[in-house]
Amino acid sequence: MSDSRKHLGKIGEEYASSFLRNLGYEIVDRNVRLPGGELDIVARDGGELVIIEVRSRKGKQKDISYGSPLESITWRKQAKLRQLLIHYLQQNQHVYNSFRIDVIGILFSPDLDAPPLFIEHVKHV
C-alpha cells in the first residue's frame, strides 16, 4: 500500500473514531492485528461489541472513478470481517451478548485538510 493511501486511511480512521464517539460509542481498540488481517476499529455500542471497517476515498462527490467507499465492501471482504470478528472474540475472553459488523465510508475532497464531503455509516453489514 502506498504512503498516500496509508495516510488517507489513517485520516479516515481518525474521523470515523470521532464520529462514533459523538454517537455515544466507546472506542475499545484500533488497528488490531489478527491472523488473516486487521480490524480498523473495535467499539462498544451500549452492551454490543461492534467491529467497524473504515473505507476512505478522495474525489469529487459526483465523480468517484472507483465507486463510493462503501461499494468497495465485497462479499469476500464481509466474510473476512466475520472471520476476524471470530478471532477477536477468541482472543479477548470478554462475554458479549451481541456483536455486529459496521462499515463507515468517508469521502474526502482532494484537499485532505478540509473536512470530509460525507460520512456514511452502515450497521449490520
pLDDT for res 22: 97
Element containing residue 38 per DSSP (H, E):
strand 37-45
Q: Are strands 37-45 and 98-108 parallel, antiparallel or unpaired?
A: unpaired
Q: Is residue 67 over pLDDT 70? A: no
Map out the domains of the chain with their CATH numbers. Answer: 3-122 (3.40.1350.10)
Q: Is residue 1 over pLDDT 80? A: no
Tell me if 51 sits within 8 A of 84, measured CB to CB: yes
pLDDT for res 65: 52
Distances (CA, A) of 62 to 42, 65, 100, 121: 31, 9, 31, 19
Residue 111: pLDDT band with limits 50, 70, 90: confident
pLDDT for res 61: 58
Question: Three-class SS of residue 47?
Answer: coil
Q: What is the pTM of this model?
A: 0.88
pLDDT digits (tens, 9 = 90+) for 4-63: 888 999 999 999 999 999 999 999 999 999 999 999 999 999 889 999 999 998 876 554
- Compute the C-alpha angle 28/106/9, nearest 5°: 65
